[in-house]
């Protein structure tokens, strides 16, 4: 990693650190609210079965990292490529355009990891500790975390380079709601076998592989997607979105 890339990375992380309280509010509010209702209130009302928290927590973790990495890349890029073209100061650095784009993805991965470290213990505490987590798959958990951050940071780059400032809120609204509800965040993919067409349809949603990956890493005793499908989906979508994200970034940068 070149000194210029490290300098750009340091700059973006320093900017993010100045708005740390807004960062935690942005990435933690929705997952924590879902955790409180589905993981604390509903189990105590007897609406959901015992053990549901163990299925829910990995999905909440996936959701928080997804939101963090997407927003960390997409929202600044929309501003940078806006009317004022603030991206130009980065493009003048002694580094290639692709290097600047890859640095943005690195920032997204880092912020996703921070969000995960923030939300996981907080959600566990809200649920009252009634979650059976398996800590024996640490390497697999780290791999899933990195792939999830990479995938959605690259996805955020695609959004940030194709959306105008006027469109970005609409795009996030139109994308996030279906992605969350069809992303196996609140239910395991394996349980959809009785609705086979729906089980196959949700495979086009990248959040499914993140949710199932964290289930396989944190609660391997519960039903989850096969590991080869999890890793294949995360890696395949990561490469796909990175390719189109970099191409779109380069096209916007030279306009």
pLDDT digits (tens, 9 = 90+) for 197-234: 999 999 999 999 999 999 999 988 888 899 999 999 99
When mean pLDDT is compared over 97-101, 173-177, 180-184, 204-208, the highest value belongs to 204-208
Tens digit of each residue's pLDDT (9 = 90 or more) over 109-142: 988 998 888 888 888 887 776 677 777 788 999 9
Residue 223, token pair as written in the block: 């039903």
pLDDT tens digits for range 1-58: 466 666 666 666 666 666 666 666 666 677 777 778 777 777 777 777 767 778 888 9
Average pLDDT on 137-152 reads: 93
Rg, the chain, Cα only: 18
Residue 44 belongs to what domain range? 3-253
Burial 186-217 (b: 16+ CB within 10 A, else e): bebbeebeeeeeebeebeebbbbbbbbbbbbb
Angle of the 52-80 helix axis to the 206-218 helix axis, nearest 10: 140
Quick one: CA torsion of 183, 172, 113, 243, rounded to 10 degrees? Answer: 90
- Enumerate residues 6+ apart whose C-beta is below 8 A from 129: none
Contact 85, 78 (CB under 8 A): no
Q: pTM for this one? A: 0.86
* Closest CA relative to residue 185, chosen from 156, 206, 208: 208
Indicate the number of domains in the chain. Answer: 1
Closest CA to 8 of 78, 76, 85: 76
Rounded to whole angstroms, the Cα distance separating 252 from 100 reads: 13
Q: Is residue 97 scored above 70 in pLDDT?
A: yes
């Amino acid at each position: 990693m070149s000194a210029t890339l490290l300098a750009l990375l340091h700059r973006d992380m320093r900017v993010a650190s100045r708005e740390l309280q807004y960062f935690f509010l942005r990435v933690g509010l929705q997952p924590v609210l879902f955790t409180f209702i589905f993981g604390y209130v509903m189990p105590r009302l007897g609406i959901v079965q015992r053990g549901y928290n163990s299925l829910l927590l990995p999905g909440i973790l996936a959701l928080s990292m997804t939101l963090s990495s997407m927003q960390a890349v997409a929202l600044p890029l929309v501003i940078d490529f806006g009317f004022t073209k603030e991206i130009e100061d980065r493009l003048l650095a002694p580094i290639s355009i692709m290097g600047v784009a890859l640095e943005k993805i690195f920032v997204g991965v880092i912020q996703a990891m921070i969000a995960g470290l923030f939300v996981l213990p907080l959600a566990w505490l809200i649920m009252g500790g009634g979650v059976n987590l398996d800590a024996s798959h640490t390497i697999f958990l780290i791999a899933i975390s990195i792939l999830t951050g990479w995938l959605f940071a690259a996805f955020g780059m695609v959004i940030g380079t194709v959306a105008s400032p006027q469109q970005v809120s609409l795009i996030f609204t139109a994308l996030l709601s279906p992605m969350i509800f069809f992303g196996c965040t609140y239910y395991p993919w394996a349980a959809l076998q009785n609705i086979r067409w729906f089980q196959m349809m949700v495979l086009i949603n990248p959040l499914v592989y993140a949710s199932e990956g964290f289930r396989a890493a944190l609660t391997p005793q519960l039903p989850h997607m096969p590991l080869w499908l999890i890793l294949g989906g995360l890696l395949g979508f990561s490469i796909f979105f990175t390719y189109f994200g970099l191409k779109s970034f380069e096209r916007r940068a030279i306009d």
